[in-house]
Chains A and B, each alone.
Chain A
Amino acid sequence: MVSPRWRKVLRDAWLHKARTLLVVLAIAVGLAGAGTVLTRWAIVRAVVQVGYAASNPASATLRVDSVDRSLLESLRALPSLAEVEAGRTASARARVRGRWANVMLFVRQDFTDVSIGRLIPEAGQWPPADGAIVIERSSIDLTGVGVGESLFVALGGHGPTPLAVTGIARDVGLAPGWMEHLIYAFVTPATLASLGGSSTLNQVHLVTRDRTLDQEGVRAVAFEVRAAIEAAGRRVDDMDVPVPGEHIHAGQINSMLVTQAGFGVLTLILSALLALNLVEAMLAGQVREIGVMKILGAQPGQLATMYLAFAGLVGLLAAIIAIPVSSAAGREYAELNATMLNFDASQASVPWWVIAVQMAVGIVLPVVAAAAPVLRGSRLTAGEALRDFGMSADGTGGRILARVGGMTRPLLLSLRNAFRRRLRMARTLLTLAVSGGILMGALHLKASIRETMDQTFRAMRYELTAGISPALPAGAIERAIGAVPGVRAVQAWGGGSAAIARPDGSWGNTFAVSALPADTRFLRMPTVAGRWLNPGPHRELVVGARLEDGEPALALGSTVMLRIDEQFSDWTVVGVVPAVLTSAFVTREAWAAVTGDTLLNRAVVALADTGITAQSETRRAIHTALADAGLQVGSALVAENRASVEDHLLLVADFLSAMGWLMLVVGGLGLASVMSLAVLERTREIGVLRAIGARHGSIHLIVQIEGLVVALLSWVLAIPLSVPMAWILGDGFGRIFFKTPVALTPDPRGAAIWLSVVVVVSLIACAWPAFRATRISARAALSYE
């Protein structure tokens, strides 16, 4: 049997069900937002941990001049290695829907015996047969063809060859092709040879026996392998040692998650403030009842338990609503994120502990929020409680307003009402202002990302880059490409790859180096630190900020020894550019002095047309012209690079916007709840207004204007709030993705959009309270206790 005091708790909740429901919904929204992030994190973590580990990713990859069976056998005998396999990658192009798309071909000797970087067959046949191609799942949409159709693939200067698409496979170690704008595919050495490429494998993938090694530990093993390869008379061109166990996109996804988790917690806090408003209002309305219960023998602890249980009940209901929503949304979100990481989370289930955590947070949050007013209320003496006279008139705010002239009485009343419960209003204001700040901040961030991308790509005054083999004198390259219709200007560059040589004889991961004229008009990259290159053969290096971040030895002002073409030379880092690409820049003269080679192997090309289709056609014409001249060429359009980078970044900004919208829902529910409380508390006043002749319209207007006052104040607060919000987001975001803060670029539409949104939210939120107010009759109101 339920005791009377618990019946009171339940019936009080039911008596004010509309108001209780609003707060339940507000907490549910906050909980659902945070729960979605938690669910997503738990699922993606489980899927990635299991899936990535199951793929047995390579600890390191070395690029060698050639790999054969005997070399592999000798390497397998090394005690530090658990597994060794050979492979090859080749860049190609495919004709897709009338345009050329970039293709990355992965070659293995025997796809049935792949242990490192295991592939998961998903459709069609596996493995690829000679003359056939299997497409990686994440890039199948880019090919425009399906299993059973043909993809026209061209390698170097060779013409396109139709390859039968016989299957689809997943490689969880690759960033998704749709995001990289790159078609990944798997072919046999014979197929590669049929396209005009070399069938010799040139990569050694290895897995260390000690799986606990960090990146430096793996690098040490890789050097041991390098020594063994060189002892066998082969040449090692470079090697790549990724962070062990970390997926290529893990850093970005985790950073995004941390940001979202922050916003999830903020949404929860804001919804807790609304719970606080509800419990405080409830206590304010029940002070006399508290006094009576004290007279009937209630102890402070008993009263506190009753009201905290009410708060817990609100939280429980919110959790019951939120958990199915967060589970469904979290799974969808996890699937999206897993797809971004190239994993499949469609079969994943929500871990039980995620549900338990949400349930616990849902119940505890409003209890914690309500604790202070409940304890204060339960400690009132019976005398204090019985002498409570409820809501008093306004203080300072009202006196200030009284001095403002030119306002009608209803307007003045609305304004005064808005200031009567200042703390409560402040909480609602805060909720709305923060959601506005985040939404506007996200808009500013998007504008800032675009501006930063504009700045970066504006510096690149060319539309296409081309790699040419064999190398030629600058004039020859410029004449060959300059003669192609659609080319506006061209400049030959040199360069290649370099790695930092370390004192212990090892070297770091290789990075790209562009050798260009110091005064090139094709690149006007502003430096974020230091200066641009001086003309001449000085061994000066300007590095991209991302590269500097990955290789601390490349700090501004430091002198580093680089391994270039097996030669070692000292270089001084003179500048850092906010490049989104991990490359470095040197002068052509310095590059030639170090390599002893004045021939160049790449070109930057300014195109006459800005349209992507026309650019693609010009690109094809360049390929044809160079192939006709007996040259092999690989190229990339800057616009495609930009789209690839921008897609990653804007996706994150969109997620931030989503959190802002979620907070807006919480804020709107908060406003509705506060306004319904205000109407309830002022029932008697409204009755008096009606008794002295106020009509429906006037009462409705008074409530709506009061809500609008709060909404407009929140708008005013949100504008300055959005600036630090954008700055914090931009700074963190930029440091994650660009390694420098993004250029803060306010989006002027933000304030106007938010104003219209907040006005609409206010009108909707206040509609029901205003309607309720018009239903109050003078007689009923004046008998209201």
Chain B
Amino acid sequence: MPLISLRQVTKTFRTPAGPFAALSDVSLDVEAGDFLVVVGQSGSGKSTLLGLISGIDRPTSGTVQVGATPVHALSERAMSAWRGRSVGIVFQFFQLLPTLTAAENVMLPMDFCRTLRARDRRPRALDLLESVGVADQADKLPHTLSGGQQQRVAIARALANRPPVLLADEPTGNLDSRTAQGVLGVLAELASSGQTVVMATHDATARRLSSRVIAIADGRVVPDEPPRG
């Protein structure tokens, strides 16, 4: 049974210019442990796809299932609780909370979801920061970190509650190529350790590291491409 399953999902946004179909009739399965890379041009629907898997957006029609959870049917309250425990998300612009240190940013999901006892949260956060190579930045505020360091902290934060699914939306889109390689390496390492990763990207080098690649164009999934590499 796939970990992520989308069936005939359509997502239409209302815009001043009229309805805009970001995704049309998309069906997709992702197995546990997959490192799926979603490619496509800007506005093709990649981020919308990730938004539907994470419950940030709800499908206009169709169903989204993650594990045993029908994400499309969750109430907003249940959605927050589910998402905090089940999905880790990494954004293009990092989205670290500026007034919290790196370690505190990582501890925040544990705090909200009460997944660990309070005294166990900081050690866990430090472990995660260690695993992504920024343990020495634990007590610094985000604005004092480089873009690559911030994104590593964001990855650590996404993993805080040990979610079965890690979603990364253009995680290297705001980084120089050398830093981007480092971040991709971290994600590849996670995937190789069994973490399911779904990543939307423009970065051609990401294809090499993935187990599977799909392309989206004009809101539709085009047939799977074999990963290059």
| Contact between B77 and A299, CB atoms less than 8 A apart | yes
Query: Is B157 part of the binding interface, using a Cβ–Cβ cutoff of 8 Å?
Result: yes
Query: Is A292 part of the binding interface, using a Cβ–Cβ cutoff of 8 Å?
Result: yes
Q: Report which of A5, A11, A382 forms a contact with B111, defined as CB distance below 8 A.
A: A5
Query: Is B28 part of the binding interface, using a Cβ–Cβ cutoff of 8 Å?
Result: no
Closest Cβ neighbor of A382 among chain B residues: B56
Query: Is A390 part of the binding interface, using a Cβ–Cβ cutoff of 8 Å?
Result: no
| Contact between A298 and B104, CB atoms less than 8 A apart | no
Name A263-313 residues within 8 Å CB distance of B.
288-289, 292-300, 302
Please report the total number of B residues contacting A with Cβ < 8 Å. 34
Query: Is A149 part of the binding interface, using a Cβ–Cβ cutoff of 8 Å?
Result: no
Query: Is B150 part of the binding interface, using a Cβ–Cβ cutoff of 8 Å?
Result: no
Question: Contacts A5-B108, A5-B112 hold; do A294 and B97 have CB atoms under 8 A apart?
Answer: no
Closest Cβ neighbor of A297 among chain B residues: B84
What 1/0 flags go to B58-82 for Cβ under 8 Å of A? 0000000000000000001101110
Q: Which residues of A contact B107 (CB under 8 A)?
A: 3-4
With the chains together, A381 CA to B51 CA distance in Å?
Answer: 12
A782 to chain B, nearest CB (A): 15
| Contact between A295 and B105, CB atoms less than 8 A apart | no
With the chains together, A635 CA to B10 CA distance in Å?
Answer: 99
Q: Give the dominant DSSP class at A's interface.
A: helix
With the chains together, A28 CA to B10 CA distance in Å?
Answer: 54
Closest Cβ neighbor of B82 among chain A residues: A297
| Contact between B51 and A293, CB atoms less than 8 A apart | no
Question: Contacts A297-B112, A297-B113, A299-B77 hold; do A292 and B95 have CB atoms under 8 A apart?
Answer: yes
Query: Is A423 part of the binding interface, using a Cβ–Cβ cutoff of 8 Å?
Result: no
| Contact between B76 and A300, CB atoms less than 8 A apart | yes
| Contact between B118 and A8, CB atoms less than 8 A apart | no
Q: Which residues of A contact B104 (CB under 8 A)?
A: 4, 7-8
A301 to chain B, nearest CB (A): 8
| Contact between B80 and A297, CB atoms less than 8 A apart | yes
| Contact between B83 and A297, CB atoms less than 8 A apart | yes
| Contact between A295 and B89, CB atoms less than 8 A apart | yes
| Contact between B97 and A292, CB atoms less than 8 A apart | yes
B95 to chain A, nearest CB (A): 5
| Contact between B81 and A11, CB atoms less than 8 A apart | no
| Contact between B83 and A293, CB atoms less than 8 A apart | no
Name B103-138 residues within 8 Å CB distance of A.
104-105, 107-109, 111-113, 118-119
Query: Is B220 part of the binding interface, using a Cβ–Cβ cutoff of 8 Å?
Result: no
With the chains together, A3 CA to B119 CA distance in Å?
Answer: 10
With the chains together, A382 CA to B100 CA distance in Å?
Answer: 20
Q: Report which of A12, A293, A295, A299 forms a contact with B99, defined as CB distance below 8 A.
A: A12
B12 to chain A, nearest CB (A): 14
With the chains together, A302 CA to B77 CA distance in Å?
Answer: 11
| Contact between B112 and A299, CB atoms less than 8 A apart | yes
Q: Report which of A7, A295, A386 forms a contact with B100, defined as CB distance below 8 A.
A: A7
Q: Which residues of A contact B93 (CB under 8 A)?
A: 785
With the chains together, A298 CA to B113 CA distance in Å?
Answer: 7
Query: Is B54 part of the binding interface, using a Cβ–Cβ cutoff of 8 Å?
Result: yes
Query: Is B85 part of the binding interface, using a Cβ–Cβ cutoff of 8 Å?
Result: yes
Q: Report which of B80, B157, B160 forms a contact with A294, defined as CB distance below 8 A.
A: B80
| Contact between B56 and A4, CB atoms less than 8 A apart | no
Query: Is A1 part of the binding interface, using a Cβ–Cβ cutoff of 8 Å?
Result: yes
Query: Is B139 part of the binding interface, using a Cβ–Cβ cutoff of 8 Å?
Result: no
Query: Is B57 part of the binding interface, using a Cβ–Cβ cutoff of 8 Å?
Result: yes
Q: Which residues of B contact A299 (CB under 8 A)?
A: 77, 80-81, 112
Q: Which residues of A contact B79 (CB under 8 A)?
A: 382
Query: Is A383 part of the binding interface, using a Cβ–Cβ cutoff of 8 Å?
Result: yes
Closest Cβ neighbor of A288 among chain B residues: B95
A16 to chain B, nearest CB (A): 10
Q: Which residues of A contact B109 (CB under 8 A)?
A: 296-297
Question: Contacts A5-B112, A297-B161 hold; do A383 and B57 have CB atoms under 8 A apart?
Answer: yes
With the chains together, A2 CA to B88 CA distance in Å?
Answer: 24
Q: Report which of B54, B55, B80 forms a contact with A300, defined as CB distance below 8 A.
A: B80
Name A476-527 residues within 8 Å CB distance of B.
none
With the chains together, A386 CA to B105 CA distance in Å?
Answer: 18
Query: Is A15 part of the binding interface, using a Cβ–Cβ cutoff of 8 Å?
Result: yes
Question: Contacts A297-B80, A386-B56 hold; do A15 and B97 have CB atoms under 8 A apart?
Answer: no
B156 to chain A, nearest CB (A): 12
A521 to chain B, nearest CB (A): 81
With the chains together, A7 CA to B57 CA distance in Å?
Answer: 29
What 1/0 flags go to A1-25 for Cβ under 8 Å of B? 1011101100110010000000000
A496 to chain B, nearest CB (A): 82
| Contact between B81 and A383, CB atoms less than 8 A apart | no
| Contact between A11 and B100, CB atoms less than 8 A apart | yes
With the chains together, A289 CA to B80 CA distance in Å?
Answer: 14
Question: Contacts A8-B100, A12-B99, A15-B99 hold; do A293 and B108 have CB atoms under 8 A apart?
Answer: yes
With the chains together, A303 CA to B132 CA distance in Å?
Answer: 29
Name A292-345 residues within 8 Å CB distance of B.
292-300, 302
| Contact between A8 and B112, CB atoms less than 8 A apart | no
With the chains together, A4 CA to B104 CA distance in Å?
Answer: 6
Q: Which residues of A contact B100 (CB under 8 A)?
A: 4, 7-8, 11
Q: Which residues of B contact A381 (CB under 8 A)?
A: 56, 76
Q: Which residues of B contact A785 (CB under 8 A)?
A: 93
Q: Report which of A1, A12, A289, A382 forms a contact with B119, defined as CB distance below 8 A.
A: A1
With the chains together, A28 CA to B99 CA distance in Å?
Answer: 27
Name A380-434 residues within 8 Å CB distance of B.
381-383, 386
Closest Cβ neighbor of B76 among chain A residues: A381
A416 to chain B, nearest CB (A): 21
Closest Cβ neighbor of B143 among chain A residues: A785
With the chains together, A298 CA to B54 CA distance in Å?
Answer: 14
| Contact between A298 and B56, CB atoms less than 8 A apart | no
* Most interface-central of B55, B98, B99, B107 (chain A CB within 10 A): B99
Q: Which residues of A contact B89 (CB under 8 A)?
A: 295
Closest Cβ neighbor of B105 among chain A residues: A4
Closest Cβ neighbor of A13 among chain B residues: B99
Q: Which residues of A contact B83 (CB under 8 A)?
A: 294-295, 297, 382
| Contact between B80 and A1, CB atoms less than 8 A apart | no
With the chains together, A12 CA to B99 CA distance in Å?
Answer: 7
| Contact between B77 and A300, CB atoms less than 8 A apart | yes
With the chains together, A298 CA to B110 CA distance in Å?
Answer: 10
With the chains together, A299 CA to B83 CA distance in Å?
Answer: 11
Question: Contacts A297-B80, A300-B80 hold; do A4 and B57 have CB atoms under 8 A apart?
Answer: no
| Contact between A296 and B51, CB atoms less than 8 A apart | no
Q: Report which of A1, A288, A295, A382 forms a contact with B118, defined as CB distance below 8 A.
A: A1
B221 to chain A, nearest CB (A): 21
| Contact between A3 and B111, CB atoms less than 8 A apart | yes
With the chains together, A95 CA to B82 CA distance in Å?
Answer: 91
| Contact between B99 and A298, CB atoms less than 8 A apart | no
Closest Cβ neighbor of B104 among chain A residues: A4
With the chains together, A289 CA to B91 CA distance in Å?
Answer: 13
| Contact between B112 and A295, CB atoms less than 8 A apart | no
| Contact between A383 and B56, CB atoms less than 8 A apart | yes
With the chains together, A4 CA to B105 CA distance in Å?
Answer: 7
With the chains together, A381 CA to B77 CA distance in Å?
Answer: 9
B69 to chain A, nearest CB (A): 14
| Contact between B112 and A302, CB atoms less than 8 A apart | yes
A13 to chain B, nearest CB (A): 9
Q: Which residues of A contact B76 (CB under 8 A)?
A: 300, 379, 381
Sorted nearest first, the 8 A-B pairs with minimum C-beta distance are A297-B84, A11-B99, A297-B113, A4-B104, A296-B109, A297-B112, A298-B112, A4-B108
Give B residues with C-beta under 8 Å from A.
51, 54-57, 76-77, 79-81, 83-85, 89, 91, 93, 95, 97-100, 104-105, 107-109, 111-113, 118-119, 157, 160-161
7 additional A-B pairs beyond A296-B109, A382-B56, beta carbons within 8 Å, are A5-B108, A11-B99, A294-B80, A295-B54, A295-B83, A297-B112, A297-B113
A–B Cβ pairs within 8 angstroms, 17 of them: A4-B100, A4-B104, A4-B105, A5-B111, A7-B99, A8-B99, A11-B99, A15-B98, A288-B95, A292-B91, A295-B89, A296-B160, A297-B84, A382-B56, A382-B83, A383-B57, A386-B56
